[in-house]
Amino acid sequence: MNSLFAIAPYKYEGIWVFDDPRVGLSQEPFVSGADTIIDVLTADIPNAAEGFKLIFSPDPFPGFNARFTWNRPEYGGNWYSWPERNMEGWLCPALFKYFESAPQELFVKVSAR
C-alpha cells in the first residue's frame, strides 16, 4: 500500500471537490469543516479554486504543511483536528478508499499545480 497519496482538489459549484478515478471517486466533496480547512491551507496559493496539489500520508514526510489528529468517528466518517489552528473537519467514508482504518494522524502538504 502507498505511504503517500496525491489528489488535486478544485472548486465545483463553490464546493471543494476532488476526482480520483483510481479509487472510483468523482467530484467527491469536502464538507463539515474540511472545506474551511482547505480555504486556510490554500490561502497563499494563486488560483487554488482551479486546482492545487494535496499530498497526504499517515506518517510525517519532508515539507508537510499541516498535521491532523483523529478525534472520533461519526456517520461512517471521521473527525480530525488541526491543533495548531484550533480547527476541526470531517472526512467522509471515502477515507477508506485509501486506508483500511482511520489513521491516528494525517500529514498534509499543499502546493500549486
For residue range 14-50, list pLDDT tens digits in order: 999 999 999 999 999 999 999 999 999 999 999 999 9
User: What pLDDT score does 2 carry?
Assistant: 75
Mean pLDDT across the stretch 62-74?
A: 97
User: What pLDDT score does 1 carry?
Assistant: 62
Mean pLDDT across the stretch 7-17?
A: 98
Averaged pLDDT of the chain: 97
Percent of the chain with pLDDT over 90: 98
On the question of pLDDT at 92 being above 90, the answer is yes
The letter for the amino acid at 99 is F
Mean pLDDT across the stretch 92-111?
A: 97
The residue with greater pLDDT, 77 or 2, is 77
Q: Give the list of residues 6+ apart from residue 92 with CB closer than 8 angstroms, or none.
A: 28, 29, 31, 76, 77
CA–CA dist 87, 68 (Å, integer): 9
User: What pLDDT score does 109 carry?
Assistant: 98
Q: Give the list of residues 6+ apart from residue 87 with CB closer than 8 angstroms, or none.
A: 33, 36, 37, 40, 81
